[in-house]
Amino acid sequence: MFDSNRLKRSLKRNGTAGNGAVRILCAPGFPLYFTLRNLGWLKHEKWWKTLPVRARGLCALRMVSQRISMFNEVKNWREDREAAQTPFPDPGNMKAPGYCNKCGLCCEVASGMPDFPSPEALPARWREVFADGLGEGHRFCAFLWEDNGSGGGFCSIYPLRSNPCRLFGSEECDFFRKSAEPAELSSGRKILLMGRWVIKLINARKLPRASARTTAKPASSRNVSDYDLSPTIYL
């Protein structure tokens, strides 16, 4: 399991003082490891390899911005529920099964079937986000967070998670754990280097506000200008 606490300390040292985006990346719960793992996967995808270097950086910034935007949205929703003492409905098992080690691989999906046992308990837009994902390039569920104490992941809406997620069993879990993956995705050093690259990009260019969904052009029709970002707004 990858513990991102050391990584977050390094990013804080390398990030610009007062940078709001860096603070969020290093905040408790933010899925930093999974975000960097996601960017690492892109190196193995054909559309990413064909992009100019500058376009890759701008695309990475947009993806990070989208992830930050969704994290903030869910965080505020959770805090509002807690402040209002709003109980969760009881749609089934509230605890992760015993075989779960919080590796987060079951959440390595871009989108899913928006079939929720208590759909009225979630913002309607979130069902669309779950169905369509956060946009091109994103490989992880929009609601995946990081358990900084254990180095693993957890579902930020677990008591209200979708029915397909509830049907995910131990056999599927074993399949994901045993599947081969590029070595750099489990290399602490390479994840750290990926993090420093992202911080370098953020330091050079402020992140824009981003919606949780994007309509992307096909990779073959994109150019550098398609990834241009507003340089004026911190998240």
What b/e string do you get for 13-43 counting C-beta neighbours within 10 Å, with b at 16 or more? Answer: eebeeebebbebbbbebbbbbbbbbbbbbbe
pLDDT value of position 140: 92
The range of the structural domain enclosing residue 35 comes to: 5-227
Examine residue 44 and state whether it is found in any structural domain, yes or no.
Answer: yes
Examine residue 232 and state whether it is found in any structural domain, yes or no.
Answer: no
Examine residue 186 and state whether it is found in any structural domain, yes or no.
Answer: yes
Taking residue 217's Cβ as centre, other Cβ atoms within 10 Å add up to 10
Examine residue 208 and state whether it is found in any structural domain, yes or no.
Answer: yes
Which of 46-50, 201-205, 208-212 tops mean pLDDT?
A: 46-50
Q: What is the pLDDT of residues 28-69, one digit of tens each?
A: 999 998 999 999 999 889 999 999 999 999 999 999 999 999
Examine residue 23 and state whether it is found in any structural domain, yes or no.
Answer: yes
Token output for 106: 């079951």
How sure is the predictor about 17, in pLDDT bands with cuts at 50, 70 and 90?
Answer: low
Q: What is the pLDDT of residues 88-138, one digit of tens each?
A: 776 456 677 778 888 888 898 888 899 999 899 999 999 999 999 999 899
Percent of the chain surpassing pLDDT 90: 33
Examine residue 235 and state whether it is found in any structural domain, yes or no.
Answer: no
Token output for 165: 């997620």
Examine residue 234 and state whether it is found in any structural domain, yes or no.
Answer: no
pLDDT value of position 93: 61
Examine residue 154 and state whether it is found in any structural domain, yes or no.
Answer: yes
> Could you tell me the pTM of the whole model?
0.82
How sure is the predictor about 87, in pLDDT bands with cuts at 50, 70 and 90?
Answer: confident
The structural domain count of the chain equals 1
Task: Identify which of 85, 43, 25, 95 has the alpha carbon closest to the alpha carbon of residue 235.
Answer: 25
